[in-house]
């Protein structure tokens, strides 16, 4: 066996140097029901926190900056959608909704590529559009951005080697 062969990563769902599963999702799309606390509850009721924890965990963005931006987007969306008689605010709500979905699509695709998980860009988009909460929960579980059974609103440490 050559030394070059020893350095190759497994292609059948092994682990990277941080213990994160590669080449397959750690849980299925509906695996969010395995950890109701905090994963399912967090992605359903506090998605700003969940996405910020993921982004911080893999080094895509700082936790507080991401939390602030996503919170502002959610508040603007809620205000815009809450005024049904305003066409301008409804248009803003649609734009913010599209922006959020596109961003989640991008994040999911990037996580999938980072961990060499089979799939396609189109599959990522459909997953985000038709089951956004489950998609975020799957990503959160995969990168281990939370501790099962412990509800925390802060971010876990950025994984070594993922500082961007």
Show me where the domains of the chain are located.
20-142
pLDDT of the residue at 6: 36
pTM, 2 dp:
0.87
For the record, the structure tokens of 126 come out as 């459909």
Residue among 136, 59, 62 at smallest CA distance from 105: 136
Residues 57, 163: contact at Cβ < 8 Å? no
pLDDT of the residue at 5: 39
List pLDDT tens digits, range 60-106: 999 999 999 999 999 999 888 888 788 898 899 899 999 999 999 99
10 Å Cβ neighbour count for 9?
A: 11
pLDDT of the residue at 162: 65
List pLDDT tens digits, range 5-22: 333 444 566 899 899 999
Residues 87, 68: contact at Cβ < 8 Å? no
For the record, the structure tokens of 111 come out as 């996580």
Mean of pLDDT values over 141-146: 95
Residue among 75, 70, 76 at smallest CA distance from 51: 70
């Amino acid at each position: 066996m050559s030394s070059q062969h020893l350095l190759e990563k497994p292609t059948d769902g092994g682990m990277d140097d941080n213990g994160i599963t590669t080449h397959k999702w750690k849980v299925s799309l509906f695996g969010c029901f395995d950890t109701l606390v905090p994963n399912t509850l967090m992605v359903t009721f506090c998605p700003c926190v969940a996405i910020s924890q993921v982004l911080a965990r893999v080094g895509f963005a700082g936790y507080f900056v991401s939390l602030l931006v996503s919170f502002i987007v959610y508040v603007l969306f809620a205000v815009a959608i809450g005024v049904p008689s305003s066409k301008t605010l409804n248009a803003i709500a649609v734009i913010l909704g599209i922006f959020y979905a596109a961003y989640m699509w991008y994040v999911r695709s990037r996580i999938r590529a980072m961990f060499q998980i089979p799939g396609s860009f189109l599959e990522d988009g459909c997953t985000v559009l038709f089951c956004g909460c489950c998609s975020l929960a799957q990503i959160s579980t995969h990168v281990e951005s939370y501790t099962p059974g412990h509800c925390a609103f802060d971010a876990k440490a950025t994984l070594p080697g993922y500082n961007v």
